[in-house]
Amino acid sequence: MELVAMRRSFKLLSLLLVLNVIQGCSEPPQDTEKSRAFLTQRALSLAPTDPEIAEIYTRTCRSCHSTGASAAPLTGDLANWKPRLEKGMDVLVENAINGFQGMPPLGLCFECSPEQFEQLIVFMATAE
Ligand code: HEC
Q: What is the pLDDT of residues 49-102, one digit of tens each?
A: 999 999 999 999 999 999 977 899 999 999 999 999 999 999 999 999 999 999
Tell whether ligand 1 has an atom less than 6 A from the beta carbon of residue 80.
Answer: no
pLDDT digits (tens, 9 = 90+) for 34-48: 788 899 999 999 999
Contact present, 57 and 120 (Cβ < 8 Å): yes
**How many Å lie between the centroid of ligand 1 and the Cα of residue 70?**
10
- In this prediction, residue 11 has a pLDDT band, given cuts at 50, 70 and 90, of low
Are 76 and 68 in contact by the 8 Å Cβ rule? The answer is no
Q: Is 104 in the pocket of ligand 1 (CB under 6 A)?
A: yes
